Amino acid sequence: MLSKTIQDAINDQIGKELYSGYVYLSMSAYFQSVNLPGCANWMRVQYQEEVTHALKLYDYVHERGGQITLQAIPQPKSKFKSPLDVFEQALGHEREVTASINKLYALSQKENDYPTSIKLQWFVTEQVEEERNAEEIVEQLKMIGDNKVALLMLDRQLGARAAS
């Protein structure tokens, strides 16, 4: 059985994961609006991953006999300056999610809730990958600069990303 402290913290994280999905869906919409369908696809796949993360936590709360309390999801930003701006914000967002997961993991350790610590280990590892992926794209966009041909080539590459 989950403690109320852990249950409330996981419910909060579920809300953050769903918000993350909204963030990426909004970014996808931006990329559609500027005719970069590959980047839009990459963000849409990211949206699907975030919803999957929320559902992993949702299912875990149920597995441990806890109670789900869904929260309101804030409206994400919808206006961006450039593809680089979008991916820099995505990287910043992933860093915030990493901090939140780490805080939840630390709480599970403090509460001696070892099953939750083990479950959260997957999320800790996943965040390393999430940050690395976003950071690589940010660095590529910085190298591209104003080169439209290179941007279209990156867009095509990002369009190849498939849902996992």
Round to whole Å and give the CA distance between 20 and 26: 10
> Tell me, what's the pLDDT at 1?
87
82-106 pLDDT, tens digit each:
999 999 999 999 999 999 999 999 9
Angle at 142 between CA 28 and CA 93, to 5 degrees: 45
Round to whole Å and give the CA distance between 63 and 80: 40
**Cβ–Cβ under 8 Å, residues 25 and 75:** no
Q: Which of 125, 127, 120 lies closest to 61 in space, CA to CA?
A: 120
Q: Does domain 4-159 have CATH number 1.20.1260.10?
A: yes
Counting residues of the chain whose pLDDT is more than 90, the rounded percentage is: 97
> Tell me, what's the pLDDT at 162?
85
Mean pLDDT score across all residues of the chain: 97
> Tell me, what's the pLDDT at 62?
97
How much is the CA Rg of the chain, to the nearest whole Å?
A: 17
Please, which pLDDT band fits residue 48 given cuts at 50, 70 and 90?
Answer: very high
Domain ranges in the chain? 4-159
Q: What is the pTM of this model?
A: 0.94
- pLDDT for 138 beyond 90: yes
> Tell me, what's the pLDDT at 125?
97
